[in-house]
Structure 1
Amino acid sequence: MGRPSLAEQRRKQILKAAAQSVATHGLAGSTQERIAAAAGMSRSHIRHYVGNRDELIDALWDHVITPYFEAMHAALTDRPPDAQLRALVDFLFGPQMARNEDDLVIEALISGAMHDVRLRGRIYDSYSRLEREIAKTIREAVPGCESAESLQLAYALVCMAFGHSTLAPLPFPASRHAGMKALATQMIEALRADRAGQAARP
């Protein structure tokens, strides 16, 4: 029997090294040589297991952003629509979104995207998908909610959640953190009340 392929193991090793490099040296300072050295490999190994620099950056983006999508899906699975919406707010403003080293990587990639149209499109696709998934959760929990308003509220929740996460390390009072979650809930309840009021009108 042949030896099992080490490709997936090597790929994870490279992406972990790439994340650590970008968190420490930024995107521009994370050369393939530096990443290869951190991974204990050669540059040719990087190209073999992951690809060229664009492919490496794409893979790194997936490496850091996918766990957030997976965690959000896990938080919503097997819940009725209204409970999904509450779980969504808990997730967006809960410990799952706490600051960690991956945030430094995400921020470096977003910053790099300002000068890289291809990367900008890649990152936009992910956040646009997140916006659509949140909007779908809103529509399923709020009868009568239209697509445009669910997307608007979803975008507001994404901005609030990521802004909150970015500022979380600063010594703001605990009331600020609780207040963001409460405000998100109020926005959802205001939409629910408005839709219910419209449905009740003759």
Structure 2
Amino acid sequence: MARPSVAAERREQIIDATMTTIAEHGIHGTTLDRIADAAGMSRGHVRHFVGNRDRLLLDTATAVFADESGEVGSILPGGVDDLTGALDYLFGPVFSSPDRENAVVLGLVELARVTPEIAAVLTTAYTATRVQLAGLVARARPDAATDACTTAAYGILSSALGTVFLGDFDADPSRVVRSRAAVDALLATL
């Protein structure tokens, strides 16, 4: 009887090691040798299971932004079905705390400037989020114009992302509360 393939398990292990390496060394310090060290395997094994560094970074970006189905989708978790839930998530402790995932996303944003495939993954994820937010705003404010709901969605997403990225160096404890208040003020204009 043949032994089951470990390829999927190894790919997951390597992608996790890639995220750790990006968080620790930045995107430009993320080499196959460092990833292999973090994964506890040889560089040859890393290449065998995931290919070259560019392919691995694209697979990592896809994994970071994948929804429950494995497709790149909204950054809002499944089950968020109203505006309050979306705002609670985007300005809550899980999303707004600086952590490994935020460091990885910042690295991917930097890489997206020169790598169209990475830019496409980020664009897909943030567009899906913005569209979902616009729909949630429209449901919460049924009298608001469609264009106003879309504009509010841009404002919500920009504020949430700015708050997260500022958290890497701005320790002001009121940062998240003030950003949420700014979004609430924006929504009050609809």
Paired residue secondary structure (1:41): coil
Question: Which residue of 2 is the match for residue 153 of structure 1?
Answer: 152
1:84-124 CA-to-partner distances (Å, cap 9, x unmatched) read 11111111111121111111111111112222233222222
Task: Determine whether 1:64 maps to 2:64.
Answer: yes
Task: Determine whether 1:94 maps to 2:92.
Answer: yes
Paired residue secondary structure (1:115): coil
- Report the Cα distance in structure 2 between the residues aligned to 1:117 and 1:177, rounded to whole angstroms: 31
Paired residue secondary structure (1:106): helix
State the identity as a percent: 30
1:99-155 CA-to-partner distances (Å, cap 9, x unmatched) read 111111111111122222332222222211211111122122221444432222111
* Aligned residue pair count: 184
Cα deviation, residue 56, structure 1: 0.8
Task: Determine whether 1:76 maps to 2:80.
Answer: yes
1:67-89 CA-to-partner distances (Å, cap 9, x unmatched) read 79788334515xxxxxx111111
Amino acid at match of 1:76: V
Q: Is the 8 A contact 2:74 2:125 kept in 1?
A: no
Alignment CA distance shift 1:118-1:66 (3 Å): closer
Amino acid at match of 1:92: L
Question: Which residue of 1 is the match for residue 5 of structure 2?
Answer: 5
Question: Which residue of 1 is the match for residue 119 of structure 2?
Answer: 120
Greater Cα shift, 139-148 or 2-11: 139-148
Question: Which residue of 1 is the match for residue 106 of structure 2?
Answer: 107
Question: Which residue of 1 is the match for residue 42 of structure 2?
Answer: 42
Cα deviation, residue 45, structure 1: 2.5
Paired residue secondary structure (2:30): coil
Q: Is the 8 A contact 1:131 1:151 kept in 2?
A: yes
Amino acid at match of 1:168: G
How do 1:5-44 residues align onto structure 2 when only pairs under 5 Å count?
5-44=5-44
Paired residue secondary structure (2:77): helix
Alignment CA distance shift 1:186-1:12 (3 Å): same
Quick check: which has more Rg, 1 or 2?
A: 1
- Report the Cα distance in structure 2 between the residues aligned to 1:9 and 1:135, rounded to whole angstroms: 37
Cα deviation, residue 23, structure 1: 1.3
Q: Is the 8 A contact 1:89 1:185 kept in 2?
A: no
1:27-59 CA-to-partner distances (Å, cap 9, x unmatched) read 222122321232122333323322332321111
Using the size of structure 2 for normalisation, the TM-score is 0.83
Paired residue secondary structure (2:176): helix
Long gaps (5+) in structure 1: 78-83, 192-202
Amino acid at match of 1:61: A
Long gaps (5+) in structure 2: none
Cα RMSD after superposing both structures: 2.4
- Report the Cα distance in structure 2 between the residues aligned to 1:134 and 1:51, rounded to whole angstroms: 36
Paired residue secondary structure (2:172): coil
